[in-house]
Amino acid sequence: MTTLPQSQSPDDLEFAARRRSFDIQNALRGDWHGDSAFKTAWFNALSLLFPLGEKFFIDSVVHYKDEVHDPRLATEIAAFRAQEATHRIQHQRYNELLCELRGYALDAFEVSQRKRIAWAYRELTPRRRLAGTVASEHLTAIMAHDMLSHDDVLAGADPRIAELWQWHGVEETEHKAVAFDVYLAVGGTVKERRRALLLNTFFFFKDAFRNLCIMLKSDGKLWSVREWASGFKYLFIKPGILRRVFRTWLHFFRRDFHPWEFDNRYLVAEWESSERNEHLKSSSH
């Protein structure tokens, strides 16, 4: 049994799940992101991946909880589990409301993800599944960082839905290294996590674009050149949210990479202080 610290997070890092609910029902009915069908469908497509994905993340981390002897990492696993479980609940509600309000079939979005998760349980070792989770957590962490540090990602979005995305991004930032530290503690290798990132990035975008196309088709906008041109611009040119995260995506391939090599907790602090101001404003009315 090792007594070495297994958590490599900053010493004063503390986080817990925030119990939240969001008033999103009315906004989800329409194109809530800048009146853009593409941007709306892009975020909705991501939301549709979370309930199944986050269950997989929780299970692959919790599988190793008895091998974690560092009490700090054990506490972080518990907080990670609580945060991801809350995200699942909120995104499940989001997805059910979305499908009900816009006439989509929820099953159609989840079918390929369900199949792949079943394949992962059948074919992959628990540690390889954990490597997949580590890779996915890198993707969510870099996208959350980009969203929290640039107003242009959610500019023009309905504030009630933007609130949900920001809350999720903040918690993804706080727990970004938990799966990674568990992976190191159980002897995860650099080669395995690099391969997992390549594979997971491919499937993440494949699923996201698949969901996006299902929605645009159902909305009668799948062949709209205008939507695709503006969507391409949003993702790759200006603001270019995927172009912007490419450099930090690459950091993961470095041998000595660790998610906390870049301490971006200032974004959490900024979000918390803006939340406090909002609360003060609303309670003074």
Shortest Cβ 194–Fe ion spacing (Å): 20
182 versus 216: smaller Cβ distance to Fe ion: 182
Number of residues that bind Fe ion (CB under 5 A): 3
Q: Residue 113's closest CA among 217, 211, 214, 38?
A: 211
Interface residues for Fe ion in 144-183 (CB under 5 A)? 172
Distance of CA 39 to the CA centre of its chain: 17
- The residue (of 31 and 172) whose beta carbon lies closer to Fe ion is 172
Give the list of residues 6+ apart from residue 168 with CB closer than 8 angstroms, or none: 87, 90, 91, 144
167/172 Cα distance (integer angstroms)? 9
CB of 175 to Fe ion, least distance (A): 6
Task: Indicate the residue among 176 and 210 with the shorter CB distance to Fe ion.
Answer: 176
Binding to Fe ion, residues 65-104 (CB under 5 A): 84, 87
Backbone angles phi, psi at 9, to 5 degrees: -75, 165
Q: How far is the CB of 140 from Fe ion (least distance, A)?
A: 5
Cα–Cα dist 87/48, whole Å: 12
At closest approach, how far in Å is the CB of 31 from Fe ion? 24
Q: Is position 33 an interface residue for Fe ion (rule: CB under 5 A)?
A: no
Q: Which is nearer to Fe ion, 208 or 222 (CB)?
A: 208
Distance CA 91, CA 107 (A): 15
In angstroms, give the least distance from the CB of 87 to Fe ion. Answer: 4
CA atoms of 247 and 241, how far apart (whole Å):
12
- Residues forming the site for Fe ion (CB under 5 A): 84, 87, 172
